[in-house]
Amino acid sequence: MSVRSVKLLQTLSPTSSTTHRCRLGRFHPRQRLRLRLRLVAFSICCTMQSNEASLSMEVETVPSEAKPLPPKPKFEPLKPHEMSDGQVQFRKVNVPPHRYTPLKKAWMDIYTPVFEQMKIDIRMNLKARRVELKTMHDTPDISNLQKCADFVHAFMLGFDVIDAIALLRLDELYIESFEIKDVKTLRGDHLSRAIGRLSGKGGKTKFAIENASKTRIVIADTKIHILGSFSNIKIARDSLCSLILGSPAGKVYSKLRAVTARLAERF
């Protein structure tokens, strides 16, 4: 293609079709056909060049290989005294008047496991009449504070130290408390007879329920406290509620035997 034809095509390309006809009318028909063919070829070349330019632009915008992520940070585990922002945690357990003397006698039995094994500082506030617990710098686990508070609280409810100390060693033990009036409203001699049915002669009924359900029960006047696991507490509570509602002890024993046999088959 000559320089003259290229210049001619460039002058013709941006105009409309009517202008093309006016300008091409000055040429011979053969020349007009050639010019039209060259115009079509020129337009095709222009479109191809524009497509190549757009493709090159797209290729340039494609990012290179993704950079590898930085390694995960490794943090040292927090120390027990750092979990609470370095602040000392406290628990306070009130001592009822009827447990003040037993607490004096069993103080060393309570103090030894709490201080030496659980690494919790414990003291008796004589003026306020309450046991105060707090964490120390070398406390291995912050949850030991709540375990010790539950242990002391169980002793204040009337449980023996030997039974209450299980709260320090096992995580699945709980204490549930309720009153006789929560089950049935009883007054006077009816209330006394209900308490007698719960205990039995010489505590026989209470011990039978404890051994069958693997729990510990404290009957303090009209309040009943049960120490054990969740499922065992339910078994003991159902038996005690049946006695409060008036069921004879023999019927409760037969139900306990059926429940314990069912549990033995399960495990």
**In angstroms, how far is CA 91 from the centroid of its own chain?**
23
199 inside domain: yes
- Please report, to the nearest 10 degrees, the dihedral formed by the alpha carbons of residues 234, 240, 244, 247 taken in order: 100
The radius of gyration of the chain's CA atoms, rounded to the nearest angstrom, is 46
75 inside domain: no
One domain, residues 180 and 149: no
162 inside domain: yes
108 inside domain: yes
One domain, residues 193 and 207: yes
Domain count, the chain: 3
Residue 161 Cα distances to 41, 47, 179, angstroms: 105, 95, 23
Q: Which residues contact 119 (CB under 8 A, 6 or more apart)?
A: 136, 138, 139, 140, 144
218 inside domain: yes
One domain, residues 151 and 104: yes
Q: What is the CATH number of the domain that holds 123?
A: 3.30.1370.10
Tens-digit pLDDT profile for the chain (267 aa)? 554 554 544 554 544 444 555 555 556 677 767 777 777 777 787 777 766 655 454 444 555 567 888 888 888 877 766 777 777 889 999 999 999 999 999 999 999 999 999 999 999 999 999 999 998 888 888 889 999 999 999 999 999 999 999 999 988 999 999 999 999 998 999 999 999 999 888 889 999 999 999 999 999 989 999 999 999 999 999 999 999 998 888 899 999 989 888 877 775
pTM here? 0.67
* Angle at 120 (CA atoms; ends 115, 121), nearest 5 degrees: 80
What is the extent of the structural domain holding 40?
3-51
